Amino acid sequence: MNQNNLEYLQKSLDYLGFGTKLNAALENAISKGEQFFSIGINQRYIPAEFRSQVEKKFDDMHFELKFNRSKNGEVYFLNAMETSLLRYNATEPIVKKFVLDQQNRMSALQSYKLLCGLSFEKPTLILDTDDPGSKQYKKIDLWYKLNFNAVDKLGEHPIKWFFPKHGYDLEQSFSRFPFLELTDNDLRESAIKALRYGNLISLPMEIDGKRQEVYISAEPEDKTLNIYDQKMQSIHPDLIFAEKIRPVSPQAERSMTGEQEHQQGSGETRYVRR
């Protein structure tokens, strides 16, 4: 048995979030010398919306880690992690296979967040397209999200990447919403950092003139935030920003339309803020 290879794989499992729980099983499997083998493990997660409740509910994850041996030696490689999530409120699991290349490995916690529908930002190595001949890689921050509206040829939901040029500014999106009790910059930065990590966080917000506790997660695709009530029901932005987008009466609409037409007739166009 290649001891250095064993220690490297054990460190890899620790990095993925499994600690030392699989060390003995890994060593035993390698000692058998088989070309391929897998190690399975179950882990239970408490959904963020239930962490403050006495009677907690759980999400159950199963991980199947895939290994193979090199054809000309004793070195083993960790190639993939097959995952299955059964949520507390679901009857059928969500399955997803993650390829574990050496540059960009998805951790157990990150895979759980994706299967829960959360998005996170992650430093990622990609081929430098500015100099493709060099075949060099560069590290950039990408947003990750699972596309639940599509299914690939394996019957799984594909991952969507959002590059910086997509233009998602999390801090700007966060600043648009009327969150309360964030006068301390450290608290604000802590909340934004948690959203970047793909966490579902809870904050008070003013909605229709009242204080309400809401859950928040990042939404890179639409360049905004997801806002939920305490029952994890989505809150529409029109309700949050009701005072800023009050409907205009038909009489006021005609008045403003007439004013614009008069201004256009005099060779000048001005837009009236509503």
> Mind listing the pLDDT tens digit for each residue in 170-207?
999 999 999 998 888 899 999 999 999 999 999 999 88
Tokens of 249: 């009466």
Q: Determine the average pLDDT of the residues in 49-54.
A: 77
Distances (CA, A) of 61 to 43, 121, 260: 5, 22, 60
Instruction: Find the length of the chain.
Output: 274
Q: What is the dihedral of CA 48, 169, 97, 153, to 10 degrees?
A: 130
Q: Which pLDDT belongs to residue 238? A: 82
**Predicted pLDDT at 98:** 95
Please report the pLDDT score of residue 103 as a whole number. 66
Average pLDDT on 3-17 reads 95
Q: Work out the number of other CB atoms within 10 angstroms of the CB of residue 177.
A: 18
Q: What percent of the chain has pLDDT over 70?
A: 86
* Residue 268: per-residue pLDDT: 36
Span 64-71, mean pLDDT? 94
For 236-274, write each residue's pLDDT tens digit. 888 887 655 444 444 544 444 444 444 444 443 332 333
Q: Which two tokens stand for residue 99?
A: 């390829």
DSSP 3-state of 237: helix
Q: What is the pLDDT of residue 138?
A: 85
Q: Is the pLDDT of residue 80 over 70?
A: yes
Q: Mind listing the pLDDT tens digit for each residue in 85-132?
A: 999 999 999 999 999 986 678 999 999 999 999 999 999 988 777 776
- End-to-end CA gap in the chain: 74
3-state secondary structure of 268: coil
Q: What is the pTM of this model?
A: 0.84
Q: Check residue 53 and give its pLDDT.
A: 75
The label of the residue with tokens 């837009």 reads 271
Q: What is the mean pLDDT of the chain?
A: 86
Instruction: Specify whether the CB–CB gap between 115 and 83 falls below 8 A.
Output: yes
